[in-house]
Structure 1
């Protein structure tokens, strides 16, 4: 058994609670489905947002999911780098798994596909 990190990112149109929560759920759901992950196998989830996303904590969305109440979650602000992708939510899901690193499916949705076109191409083929 290994602890593996599963990366993911997505974007929202504007700084509103509803879109932030629904986009976080959409991203986590895709990570979970693509990697056959169960909440009991999750060590923790780190969530970052770009500085303009202040309407809510994205972790609130995950807390509402069945079976996720014991998973440690942490939200933080992404490093503010010039010309970085705005309105971006990133997840790092640490999971206990038998999968090898090259079997992990990282997920990039919406505008965040530009962050890792190499991974997006692999997951769409």
Structure 2
């Protein structure tokens, strides 16, 4: 039996306002796009890490994800605060998804809305 190859998919999105609805919608859009462009199912995911800037307080992105994607209810989710750096972009949620792919397949990262400036080569 061949060992699985693990792939890490990254993404980020800037939230317009620190209100639960905006956080929910941002997480939903970002996660949906990552699933779509990488042709993966929620059940293919082993774990998901979130970071969020310190100016976001209204909702934990993991709670937003579980609200819209019930298949991740048994997936390990972890959320932490982004390190504060002078000049950092505000109201940003980042995601790191760890999944398995057939050998040779590479994941496509997604950076959306205002977070496109962080990684223009992955902008959507």
Q: Give TM-score, length-normalised by structure 1.
A: 0.90
Cα RMSD for the two superposed structures: 1.4
Listed as ranges, the matches of 1:73-92 within 5 Å are 73-92=77-96
Deviation, 1:99, is 5.4
Task: Tell me the distance in 1 between the aligned counterparts of 2:87 and 2:104.
Answer: 34
Question: 1:71 and 2:75 equivalent?
Answer: yes
Equivalent residue for 2:41, pick from 22, 38, 41:
38
Task: Tell me the distance in 2 between the aligned counterparts of 1:95 and 1:75.
Answer: 17
CA deviations 1:6-64 (Å, max 9, x no partner) are 00000011211110011011100000111011122111000110000011111112112
What 5-or-longer segments of structure 1 have no aligned partner?
none
2:98 match: 94
What 5-or-longer segments of structure 2 have no aligned partner?
none
1:108 match: 111
Runs of 4+ in 1 over 4 A off after TM superposition: none
Task: Tell me the distance in 2 between the aligned counterparts of 1:45 and 1:72.
Answer: 6
2:25 match: 22
